[in-house]
């Protein structure tokens, strides 16, 4: 048996209704009424690694690697691994940088895509990066 570690390029949390159903803790779910600049706690099962030197996407998941488009851009402030009944967990804090209210593409892998104002610039950016309208 080796060391099982999962590298996550994003933070994927469940919908808050999972708390109301009794399936998840509040920190395993997306916060209600997210606000830019606020800091929130998170909890994930498993030993997970996150990038700490920049923004990553915040996603919603229903499990089994089924992920939404990015809901927000966040910065992981801290994360810690610990044991509960021989299961490894990861907990931490993240700060909301921006909340996305559109269907635009905001990340290209780990790179945050800068805001583009004009529609011609958007079309050129998409064409240059091989993206479809």
17-55 pLDDT, tens digit each: 999 999 999 999 999 999 999 999 999 999 999 999 999
pLDDT of residue 19: 96
Residues of the chain predicted below pLDDT 50: 118
* Residues 5, 3: Cα–Cα separation, whole Å: 6
Asked whether the whole model's pTM tops 0.95, one would answer: no
pLDDT at 118: 47
CATH tag, 6-101: 2.40.240.20
The CA–CA distances, whole Å, from 67 to 26, 30, 70, 80, 88 equal: 19, 13, 9, 23, 22
Task: Report whether 89 contacts 43 (CB < 8 A).
Answer: yes
The alpha carbon of residue 42 and the mean position of all alpha carbons in its chain are separated, in whole angstroms, by 10
pLDDT score recorded for residue 133? 59
Q: What is the spatial distance between Cα 115 and Cα 133, in angstroms, rounded to a whole number? A: 16
> To which H or E segment does residue 127 belong?
helix 119-128
Q: What is the pLDDT of residue 111?
A: 74
Structure tokens at 125: 């950016």
Question: Which pLDDT score is estimated for 106?
Answer: 79
Q: Is 109 exposed, middle or buried (0-12, 13-18, 19+ CB in 10 A)?
A: exposed
């Amino acid at each position: 048996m080796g060391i099982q570690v999962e590298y996550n390029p994003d933070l994927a949390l469940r919908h808050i209704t999972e708390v109301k159903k009794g399936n998840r803790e509040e920190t395993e779910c997306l916060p209600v009424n997210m606000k830019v600049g606020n800091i929130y706690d998170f909890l994930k099962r498993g030993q997970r690694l996150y990038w700490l030197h920049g923004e990553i996407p915040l996603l919603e998941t229903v499990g089994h690697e089924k992920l939404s488009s990015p809901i927000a851009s966040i910065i992981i402030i801290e994360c810690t691994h610990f044991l509960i009944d021989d299961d490894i967990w990861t907990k931490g804090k993240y700060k909301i940088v921006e909340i996305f209210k559109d269907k635009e593409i905001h990340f290209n892998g780990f790179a945050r895509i800068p805001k583009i104002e004009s529609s011609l610039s958007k079309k050129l950016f998409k064409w240059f990066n091989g993206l479809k309208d």
